[in-house]
Every structure is written in C-alpha cells, then in structure tokens.
C-alpha cells in the first residue's frame, strides 16, 4: 500500500516542483560563488567560504541554506496534505473503507512523507556534489578540524549529512501528519506545521528560555555540520535523532488515535 502512496505522492506536480526548487539551490550557490569569488573566510552561511577550495562543500553549504526554511516548508506541504488533501477531495472515506484499515492507511502516508524528507535532503546533496565538482576543484577535503580526508570520504560524509538532515525532518513530518488528520483543509495543516517551525526557531534564539532548547524541534537541526569535523563528534547528532524519534512517537500516536476515531462523512 505504501508503494502506491509513494508513487502517487511523487507523481504530483507540486511535489516535483518542490524537489526541483530544492535541487536548484546548490546550482545557484555554485554559480554565485564561481562568478563572485565567494565570501571572505568566516563570512556568509557555514561552508560557503570553503566552496572555492573544494566542491564537496557546495553540498554542505546548500544544506545550510535550505535547512532553516526551504526543506521544512517542503515537508510541511507534503505532510499537511497527506490526510487533509484526501478529505478535501472527498476520497478519504473510500480509502478508510478499504479492508486494509485506517491504521495501515496512516502508516502508508507516514512512510511516504518520511521518504520525501530523505529524498528532499539527498537531492540537495547530490545536486550540490555534481555542481561542486563541475565548477570547483576537488580532491582531498580539509575538514573543519584542520585534518585532511579523501575525496570519497568527503562525498560519503556529505551523503550522510543529507540522511541526517532528512531524519531531522521526521519530527516535523509527524506533526504535519497529525495536524492533517484534524482538518479537511490542507492549507490550514500546512500553515500550522510551518508555524510550529517558526515558533520553535524563535524560542531557540531566546536565551531566557534556554531550559526549553533541548526539547525544541529545531534545536539540533544544524548538528549535521559536525560531520565535517574529524573525528566526528556524534553527541549532537544522536541527540537530534533521539529527539525526532520522541516527536514521532508522540505525534504518531496522536495521529493514530485521531484517524481511528474520526468520523469521515465526505
């Protein structure tokens, strides 16, 4: 069932458009840096000043640029539309009437949204690596720790960073799916989901509520940058993944409770 949902989701024009826009970001970054010479050391978004020295950093710079808004916005659109979109079209009652049941429908929708999270982040990385190799020199990679790793090691770390970023969206995706079960209006679900990101980011920047920071959805979203260090300090990455798992458990259970008791009339 989830394969059918995945094919249906990725066949939609808006989903392809979202992936296309995300994939265009690293190309735009590579062109700007190539034509302008890039920012001075330490200026601009993380990794941007290193792109000229090694094209591998194009992928990491693109993740840094897309992580705060573009990737979360894309996830909010797909997650918010997952259940509410079916309800608005009047097809939800036919889906829940299947012998597969409501829980399996929710599972298929959740797996599809999670797959989109990973595909969105990996798309940015893959296109970033291609653009970086095309425009800039590539070879041994100097890490943020000052050590040197091989080019393939750098590529592997970039792909792993994409997976970490994709997994960092799972909590947001579970929230979006839950909100989507609460309404028949996809735009409302999308707005609430992206609003949660904005609120979390604002609270994350206020030192007076620092006691809340470890629990905020966005707190560890930049932990993927640690993969550019040698050796890799994994503690923030693991904290991020555990936090996302917690959000998935809470909102996944809430979504299941809602979808299994919801009256579907249209």
The structure's pTM equals 0.92
Grade residue 99 by pLDDT with cuts at 50, 70 and 90.
very low
pLDDT at 239: 97
Conformational region of residue 44, where left means phi above 0, alpha means psi within -120 to 50, and beta covers everything else = left
Q: What are phi and psi of 95, to 5 degrees?
A: -70, -45
Tokens for 213?
Answer: 């920071």
pLDDT computed for residue 98 by the predictor: 59
Q: How far is CA 133 from the centre of its chain?
A: 24
Beta strands in 146-251 (DSSP E): 148-149
The stretch 40-47 carries a mean pLDDT of 69
pLDDT, mean of residues 3-21: 90
Task: Kindly state the tokens that stand for 251.
Answer: 């909102």
Q: Token pair of 5, please?
A: 């949902």
More reliable by pLDDT, 112 or 42: 112
More confident residue, 69 or 1: 69
User: Which DSSP string corresponds to 86-113?
Assistant: HHHHT-HHHHHTSTT-HHHHHHHHHHHH
Residues whose CB falls within 8 Å of the CB of residue 201, separated by 6 or more in sequence, listed in order: 68, 218
Question: Could you read off the pLDDT of 157-185 as tens digits, one per residue?
Answer: 999 999 999 999 999 999 999 999 998 89
Residue 41 has pLDDT above 90, yes or no: no
> What is the residue whose two structure tokens read 């560890």?
220
Cβ within 8 Å of residue 16, ≥6 positions away: 10
Percent pLDDT > 70 in the chain is 90
Interacting residues of 75 by C-beta distance below 8 A, sequence separation 6+: 113, 116, 117, 120, 169, 172, 173, 176, 193
Query: What local confidence, expressed as pLDDT, does residue 92 receive?
Result: 63
Q: What is the pLDDT of residues 197-251, one digit of tens each?
A: 999 999 999 999 999 999 999 999 999 999 999 999 999 999 999 999 999 999 9
Hey, what are 185's tokens? Answer: 């209006």
Average pLDDT over every residue of 64-83: 94
Chain mean pLDDT for the chain: 90
Name which of 96, 127, 97 is nearest 20 in CA terms: 127
Question: DSSP letter at 45?
Answer: S
């Amino acid at each position: 069932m989830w394969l059918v949902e995945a094919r249906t989701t990725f066949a939609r024009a808006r989903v392809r458009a979202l992936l296309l826009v995300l994939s265009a970001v690293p190309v735009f970054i590579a062109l700007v840096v190539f034509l302008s010479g890039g920012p001075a050391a330490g200026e601009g978004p993380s990794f941007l000043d290193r792109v000229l020295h090694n094209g591998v950093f194009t992928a990491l710079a693109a993740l840094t640029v897309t992580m705060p808004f573009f990737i979360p916005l894309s996830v909010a659109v797909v997650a918010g539309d997952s259940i509410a979109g079916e309800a608005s079209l009047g097809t939800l009652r036919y889906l829940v009437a299947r012998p597969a049941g409501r829980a399996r429908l929710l599972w298929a929708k959740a797996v599809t949204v999670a797959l989109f999270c990973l595909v969105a982040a990996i798309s940015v990385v893959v296109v970033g690596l291609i653009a970086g190799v095309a425009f800039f020199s590539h070879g041994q990679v100097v890490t943020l720790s000052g050590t040197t790793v091989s080019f393939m090691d750098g590529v592997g770390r970039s792909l792993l960073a994409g997976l970490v970023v994709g997994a960092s969206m799972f909590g947001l995706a579970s929230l979006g799916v839950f909100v989507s079960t609460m309404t028949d209006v996809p735009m409302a679900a999308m707005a609430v989901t992206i609003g949660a990101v904005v609120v979390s980011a604002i609270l994350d920047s206020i030192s007076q509520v620092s006691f809340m920071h470890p629990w905020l959805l966005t707190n560890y979203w930049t932990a993927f940058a640690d993969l550019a260090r040698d050796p890799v300090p994994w503690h923030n990455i693991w904290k991020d993944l555990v936090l996302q798992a917690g959000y998935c458990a809470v909102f996944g259970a809430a979504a299941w409770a809602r979808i299994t008791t919801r009256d579907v009339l249209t």
